[in-house]
Amino acid sequence: MLRSRAIRAVLAVALMAGLALVPTAGGATGDADGPRIKPVTALLQFDVVEHPNGACNAGAYWEYFEVNGATSYSIQFLDSGREVTYTQPPFDTGMDATAPRGRHRAGLTGYSASAGGCGDPIPGWRARFQLVRAWATVELRDGTIVGRVTFNSKPLKGIVVSAVGPNPHGPGGGPPYPRQSVFQGVTRADGRYRIHIPKNKTNQGYTVGPLESGYWAPTQYVNKLAGRMVTVDFALARIPPRVADT
């Protein structure tokens, strides 16, 4: 079995979320419909593994924190003064099941070295590599709200269900926002409805509720709809008729 010498060099401090965003081909950070670039916390590191015959291998890898909705992760570093950008697909739990929660490791293909007699290549590699930044590309995706509307446990057909966003009560229960996005769905014979939220409108929350005269149900709030299908069911109750004052 291979025996790790537990030699690890951290070549850069963690990149915090306040760093400048990095533009990449095919998308810009502020595009409403295109991919969004988000900085990630990352470390560029090395491991040295000693083999039974006394030989050693050193491998470069980087650790990064997962970003929701990311379709790829990229790291930019200097290799002996030469700028290199390395991109990989989203993390696969089957490849690194032992990684800490939300933190993943990925080897940098093509960056390894051997040393006869198990020398220590870390100091040279520390001088050779410099981490610049790391980021995730997040593809905006449509969202969907589905559910079922019933009365006395029986499905209701033709009920309009609306999703209104942002929260119509405004922040902190204040006055409504001046501009709202409204999307609707209508129940079928089985009481089920579907509301499609376009990808450029999934960055806000929605208050969801049925619209039917004489019936009532509490509204529900949903958020973070990008690429998600959220189920919101409603069990309606009749609104009692108002009794005229005598």
Task: Give the integer Cα–Cα distance in Å for 77 and 15.
Answer: 12
Helix H or strand E encompassing 127: helix 122-128
Q: What are the C-alpha distances in Å from 38 to residues 146, 170, 183, 203?
A: 29, 27, 28, 14
Phi, psi of 128 (to 5 degrees): -80, -40
End-to-end CA distance of the chain: 91
Is residue 215 within 8 Å of residue 224, measured between CB atoms? no
pLDDT at residue 21, as a whole number: 29
SS3 122: helix
What pTM was computed for the model? 0.50
Is residue 157 within 8 Å of residue 187, measured between CB atoms? yes
pLDDT at residue 53, as a whole number: 75
Is residue 88 within 8 Å of residue 72, measured between CB atoms? yes
Six-digit token string for 104: 């993943």
For residue 226, the tally of other CB atoms under 10 A from its CB is: 18
Q: Which residues contact 240 (CB under 8 A, 6 or more apart)?
A: none
pLDDT at residue 45, as a whole number: 81
pLDDT at residue 188, as a whole number: 96
Per-residue pLDDT of the chain (246 residues; tens, 9 = 90+): 333 333 333 333 333 222 222 333 333 354 555 677 888 888 888 777 777 777 777 778 888 888 877 888 999 999 889 999 989 887 765 555 666 667 787 878 777 776 655 566 677 777 788 889 999 988 778 889 999 999 999 999 999 999 998 755 555 555 555 567 899 999 999 999 999 998 888 878 899 999 888 888 999 999 878 778 999 999 999 987 665 444
pLDDT at residue 147, as a whole number: 96
Q: Which residues contact 62 (CB under 8 A, 6 or more apart)?
A: 42, 43, 44, 45, 75, 86, 105, 106, 108, 131, 134
Is residue 137 within 8 Å of residue 90, measured between CB atoms? no
